[in-house]
Copies of this chain bind each other. A is one copy, B any other.
Amino acid sequence: MKFSCTLHNHIMDLLAKKHIKIDDLAILVYNSQKKYNPKITIEVSRDAVVHVLAKREVQNIILVGLYLDDKSKTDENMDPYLKAFLDEDSSQFQVDETLSTGIPAVFGAIASSNRGYLDKTKPGIIGKVDSKPYNVFLDDLLAGIVAGAESYIANKESIGVYKEME
């Protein structure tokens, strides 16, 4: 089998079908980082989101999360316990968090902290998708992507101790 496009393009298509634009994520990165880094721009934020979305670990987690959200809507034979958790978007389910923590993990410990913050405060597009049905995983995935992009930008800068070493 030959695939018609790379996984990166495929992930972009899947997000577009869920009406997620790169700029919806980039604006969250920009808003959170501008207080630490006055030179940051939307372009830099967008590039950071694209960088996160190009990582294999991230792509595969998105693939699984979106598949589960899709099945929660369309699979009438879904395991009834799993279906009940997903219909309810239960805070006691926790697998959406377990799965999506794999995204910030590859960007360091601060990224994981940031994901927790975004997951509770649900700014912008994260809150928007969270308020709609069949998106149990999607809001967590987006929080993970934004958190990863924030850390990617923060780590490229050399401040404090790192600055003094240069």
A94 to B68, CA, bound (A): 17
Residue picked from A66, A90, A116, most chain B C-beta under 10 Å = A116
The answer to whether B165 and A88 touch across the interface, beta carbons within 8 angstroms, is: no
A138 to B90, CA, bound (A): 24
A14 to B79, CA, bound (A): 10
Q: Take A63-B79, A164-B1 as given contacts and tell me if A155 and B106 are in contact as well, using a CB distance cutoff of 8 Å.
A: no
The answer to whether A161 and B81 touch across the interface, beta carbons within 8 angstroms, is: yes
Stretch binding the partner chain, chosen from A23-31, A39-47, A107-115: A107-115
Residues of chain A from 40 to 95 with CB closer than 8 A to chain B in the complex: 56-57, 60-61, 63-64, 66-68, 71, 75, 78-82, 84-85, 88, 90-95
Number of copies: 4
Q: Take A114-B116, A120-B114, A159-B92 as given contacts and tell me if A164 and B64 are in contact as well, using a CB distance cutoff of 8 Å.
A: no
Contacts of A105 in B (CB 8 A): 105-106, 108-109
Number of interface residues of A (CB under 8 A): 62
The 8 A CB mask of A102-141 against B (1 = contact, 0 = none) is: 1001111110111111011100000000000000000000
**Is the C-beta of A2 less than 8 angstroms from some C-beta in chain B?**
yes
**Is the C-beta of A18 less than 8 angstroms from some C-beta in chain B?**
no
A70 to B101, CA, bound (A): 24
